[in-house]
Structure 1
Amino acid sequence: MSRTVRTIYLLLVIILYSFQIKSQDVGAIGKGQALKVNGGIAMNSIFYTSNGPATRSPFSFFINGNINFNLYGWSVPLTFAYTNHTFSYTQPFNQYSLNPTYKWLTTHIGWTSMNFSPYTLNGHQFFGVGVEAAPPGRLHYSAMYGRLQKAIGIDTAHPEYLPAYKRMGYGIKIEYAGDNYNLGINLFRAKDDINSVRAIPDSLQVVPQENIAIGFTGGFTIYKHITFTGEYATSQMTRDIRSPLAEHGAFNVTNPFIRNRTSTGIYHAYKAGINYNVQSFTLGIGYERVDPEYATLGAYYFTNDFQNITVNFSQSIFNHKVTIGGNAGVQNDDLAHKKISNMRRLVGSLNVNYTASDRLQFDASYGNFQSFTNIKPQFAVVNQLTPYDNLDTLNYVQISQNANLNMNYQLAGNKKRRQSLNVNFSYQQATEKQAGHADTTGGTKFYNTNAGYNLSLVPTATTVTVALNLSYSVLPGNNSLAWGPTLAVGQAFFNKKIKTRLSASYNTSANNGATQMSVVNLRGSAGYTWKRKHNFNLSVVSLFRNNMRAQTSSPAHLFDLTTTAGYSYSF
């Protein structure tokens, strides 16, 4: 390790530990109640019976509870669960974190995670220490140091568990906020300890890695209405630190922090946006590009090799009664033109909101998604006689559309009676094209609509709901229809200490015009609260299924009854 890197390590550790000592002086210590304890316990019994095949236990019993000890904001949660089959419990000491805060300083100690940038350190969990400081003024900063991956040796008894090298990392982030601009820089470095485990066979494809990622952010506002934002990140990744050393190529800001090897690659990511906002109009344009193979050891998963261009807008008209918004974008991959296939996606959506009055409102939306895939087989290229052979044979297009319309109307009412009516309709379509020819089956189409009426009688604490649902789908060779009404009544008693609810629903389904099944569902429930801490509940669900296409192993007329009784206490 070079003297420069050792110096950075030493300074960072000193800074982190000095912050850790200061952060222990939290303002809550010595004020108020030192120890607070809260929690609860719940018990439930489920009885089940059916005239069909036994798919569930006729009796189940559940007990679960939790207790939390809180000492000046330091929490220790404990939970347990018991059934007539198993027992389990959890405690936080396998992975525990302390996060004391004092004024503008927050310290993370133990198992924790931090975010610097999507391209450098992005939510990766580590065991160590971190600080986030936002003192009065324009300068804010964060730092972290710890173990990102534990060393795991080869386990011959469990070959499904892959070994791993110990991985340590550190990072720092600095941000400066001006009057009309902001600037930031963040750095993250991680390296595997090659000596942390015994030699790992190459067949397992587990190799020690090293990474340095640096990001720059900025933004500024002009004329109070136009805002520019931008971010640039570069990551130098060594896929195998055992590979031979190599000379540095073109200069990169990461070069001083990591030695270049034959397995080292340098990658870049860019993101920029401009937004224009004036009165009731907003327009935004965004661009993002991530190099192929871009990766960082500060994230569990990373999407690379893509380019995005997006546009969005919003406009209010007619005295803000109508709001129109939309966005569109295009994404493509294979930026280096080295993949066997490439893909381009087009996305667009439009939303309209119309507030006709205080009681009537409409919402409508439409979305369109198109995916273009171009496969480039090697033999097609080798065997073609002219540049025009096989021009479109492997072009594949997927098209998906969706539309939604919703209406909500508050009917005439008063303080004693409230009524509302809601109607919703949605439509989805998916189809495809191969070599420029549309799908002869017509693709798939889904229609769904539902309508509901709600009545609330405030003096008697009574609610009534009537609803109707209908779904229709068109698939290649199969058209299906399902519909049915629902009626529900709720009633509270004794100053709302006892709450009851009864509901009944009927559903029937048919395929290609032939009825398949009808279902009647009856539900009843009651709950009682005593002294705000004790809760008793009882529910009964009965289901009657009439299957016109029943198999010999299942009865044509099926009856299920499920009864649940429970009690819970909280403190």
Structure 2
Amino acid sequence: MANSRLAHLDTARLPRPDSTRPTPPTLTLTGDLDLSRSFSVMRSQQESSLQHTPWYLTGSLTLATRSGWVIPLQGVWSSPSNGYGQAYNAIGVSPRYKNWLTLHGGYRNLEFSPFTLAGYTVLGAGIELNAGLLRVGLMAGRFTKAVTPTATDPDRVAAFRRMGYGARIGVGNERTYLDVILLQAADDLNSIPSDSVGYLTPAQNVVLGLSGRLRANRKLTVEVDAAGSAYTSDIHAEPMPAALADRRFGYVNYLNDVRNFIPVNSSTRIRTALQASLSYQTNWVGLRLRYKRVEPGYQSMGTYYLPTDVEHLTVAPTIRLFKNRLQFQGSLGWQHNNLMNQKPARTNRIIGSASLAYASETNLTLDLTVSNYGLTQRAGYRPLTDSIRLAQTNRTLSGSVSKSWTGSGQLHMVQGSATYQELQELTSFTAENSRSRNWSYSVSYSMQHSASGLNLNLSYQYSCYSHTQDIGFLVQGPTLSVEKKLFKGEKVSLLCMANYLRNSQPLADETQQGFVVNTTLTLDYQLTPVHRLSVSGSDNVNQGLQPFRQQQGSVRYTMAF
């Protein structure tokens, strides 16, 4: 019976190997390389100077395998320059296997949470693992390299070598997760000679953070980031007497006694930071609530800069109507500082803004934005008098309109915008001398002709700044840019841009006038589909109280494959 069925089987209908279909390559390689160098010449009535900037080499290389590995390699290299202790030369690689394993090596910018490790450049190694519901991240390396000051270079800033590590462990996925984060970093006192330390003190930092997201459904999302930081600015400072320790220091001292993990002395600051948001989104309406509180002096060695001593709450609604052609966005926030009552006054801010955008089916767009920022003060640990109390409002009203159309193979666009800004002092003692108003108008026209490779842009700007009734400043002038593809094949393009701005300012019994003329010429040559060469030069002439002339030039080579 089996042989009978095989005999009647139509073999013509069986799938056959497609010999014409190309086999995917085992390894693919893509990348780009950019090499640039520039110079600048400054001429004034007193002197002239020529300055060469270092050459910069940047590039990226990505290897992808058929098995699922993607290996991106990135780097930047520059010629030596003085005045900076931390080098710009860096290279890093982050091999990734599918979506669950990532390795890091070299100079990398990892981010665990906004208050712990947030994009700080570290020279080291790391791993991120997302296997099922397990989320693990580990990194260790050099946060800052050692810099020894020299007598011949007074601008060279001394720094200890700073080493550290970070760990993140949690459960969940990209939609819903909860992570616990630890960051520890410290300066190496022996990384620079003891006779060159000066006033520099070795520091150390321990940060414990929590980061999570809960997305209950497509409409509701909750996010939270919290951290506590113990930052010791001087490792060798005197120990803190137990009588001076508050509740936070007492808890940390307990940990120090048990595990010797967080050493505390008189230079240690224990601070916390928290931010949380709740978002609700539907097809036509959205609402987001945001809360943030960062105590004064909060610091993490894994972040570059954080605004501290701030607490604010923001409500931001969004409405979309008529198939998203009409959109309204609003924001209302309350903010204040002096969270720990360490300042003589507390500053309160009320921040509100609203925008309305409309896009028609005929390529007409309208935008209108209104914002108001109010600032007031109230007493802190000292009473405030009306003569020094700060109370201001900053109002801004702006609008723009644009229209685009096509015809005869050309794309045309006309745009116009206007902005009014006013700063008003509400305190009667300083109101007359603290009011300022600014007007700014602009109109532009652009045209693109794809067949001839011609791009034309023409604009005019008018800005008026006034402070009280006696001081004003007016700037106005046109800008023209023309880009044209030259020769057949469009391998060569030429860009010419000219800008003329005339300014005037009343001074005493006369009006001071001046102007700025800036011209730029750029020649771009596509040597091959892979190689490109660009040469650019500019001339900037400034006539006024202190006239000068600056000329700049640059050469850039790019390879993309």
Aligned-partner SS, 1:337: coil
Stretches of structure 2 lacking an aligned partner (at least 5 in a row): 1-24, 64-70
Asked whether the 8 Å contact 1:309–1:330 carries over to 2, the reply is yes
Asked whether the 8 Å contact 1:76–1:92 carries over to 2, the reply is no
Aligned-partner SS, 1:395: coil
Between the aligned partners of 1:366 and 1:40, the Cα distance in structure 2 is 42
Out of 512, 516, 523, the residue aligned to residue 513 of structure 2 is 516
In structure 2, what is the equivalent of residue 385 of structure 1?
none
Q: Could you tell me how far 1:303 is from its partner in structure 2?
A: 3.2
Out of 409, 414, 418, the residue aligned to residue 421 of structure 1 is 414
Q: Could you tell me how far 1:535 is from its partner in structure 2?
A: 6.3
Q: Could you tell me how far 1:53 is from its partner in structure 2?
A: 4.7
Q: Could you tell me how far 1:282 is from its partner in structure 2?
A: 0.6
Q: How does 1:71-90 map to 2 (within 5 A)?
A: none
Larger mean CA deviation between 252-261 and 285-294 belongs to 252-261
In structure 1, what is the equivalent of residue 445 of structure 2?
453
Out of 212, 216, 232, the residue aligned to residue 218 of structure 1 is 212
In structure 1, what is the equivalent of residue 300 of structure 2?
296
Between the aligned partners of 2:51 and 2:203, the Cα distance in structure 1 is 50
Out of 221, 226, 232, the residue aligned to residue 232 of structure 1 is 226
Q: Could you tell me how far 1:474 is from its partner in structure 2?
A: 1.7
Q: Could you tell me how far 1:401 is from its partner in structure 2?
A: 2.2
In structure 2, what is the equivalent of residue 467 of structure 1?
459
Letter in 2 for 1:146: G
2:109 counterpart of 1:105: no
Between the aligned partners of 2:31 and 2:212, the Cα distance in structure 1 is 46
2:401 counterpart of 1:407: yes
2:178 counterpart of 1:174: no
Letter in 1 for 2:363: R
Deviations 1:229-266 (A, max 9, x none): 22332223445444337668564796655356453553
In structure 2, what is the equivalent of residue 23 of structure 1?
none
2:107 counterpart of 1:114: no
Structure-1-length-normalised TM-score = 0.72
In structure 1, what is the equivalent of residue 278 of structure 2?
274
Between the aligned partners of 2:209 and 2:414, the Cα distance in structure 1 is 52
In structure 2, relative to structure 1, the CA distance for the partners of 1:226 and 1:197 (3 Å cut) is same
Asked whether the 8 Å contact 1:43–1:568 carries over to 2, the reply is no
Between the aligned partners of 2:241 and 2:210, the Cα distance in structure 1 is 27
Q: CA RMSD in A?
A: 4.8
Out of 137, 140, 146, the residue aligned to residue 142 of structure 1 is 137
Q: How does 1:540-551 map to 2 (within 5 A)?
A: none
Between the aligned partners of 1:494 and 1:511, the Cα distance in structure 2 is 47
Asked whether the 8 Å contact 1:138–1:177 carries over to 2, the reply is yes
Between the aligned partners of 1:165 and 1:565, the Cα distance in structure 2 is 36
Aligned-partner SS, 1:469: strand
In structure 2, relative to structure 1, the CA distance for the partners of 1:442 and 1:318 (3 Å cut) is farther
Between the aligned partners of 2:128 and 2:135, the Cα distance in structure 1 is 8
Between the aligned partners of 1:563 and 1:150, the Cα distance in structure 2 is 33
Q: Could you tell me how far 1:186 is from its partner in structure 2?
A: 1.0
Asked whether the 8 Å contact 2:230–2:271 carries over to 1, the reply is yes
Q: Could you tell me how far 1:44 is from its partner in structure 2?
A: 8.5
Out of 355, 364, 369, the residue aligned to residue 365 of structure 1 is 369
State percent identity of aligned pairs: 21
Larger mean CA deviation between 349-358 and 214-223 belongs to 214-223
Asked whether the 8 Å contact 1:219–1:229 carries over to 2, the reply is yes
Letter in 1 for 2:465: S
2:184 counterpart of 1:189: yes
Asked whether the 8 Å contact 1:236–1:265 carries over to 2, the reply is yes
In structure 1, what is the equivalent of residue 311 of structure 2?
307
Asked whether the 8 Å contact 1:245–1:259 carries over to 2, the reply is no
2:424 counterpart of 1:431: yes
Deviations 1:75-106 (A, max 9, x none): 58686779xxx99xxx9997554433344322
In structure 2, relative to structure 1, the CA distance for the partners of 1:504 and 1:189 (3 Å cut) is closer
In structure 2, relative to structure 1, the CA distance for the partners of 1:251 and 1:502 (3 Å cut) is closer
Between the aligned partners of 2:558 and 2:274, the Cα distance in structure 1 is 54
Q: Could you tell me how far 1:340 is from its partner in structure 2?
A: 2.2
2:327 counterpart of 1:323: yes
Aligned-partner SS, 1:484: strand
How many residues are paired up? 511
Structure-2-length-normalised TM-score = 0.73
Asked whether the 8 Å contact 1:45–1:566 carries over to 2, the reply is no
Letter in 1 for 2:358: Y
Aligned-partner SS, 1:393: coil
Between the aligned partners of 1:246 and 1:424, the Cα distance in structure 2 is 63
Aligned-partner SS, 1:134: strand
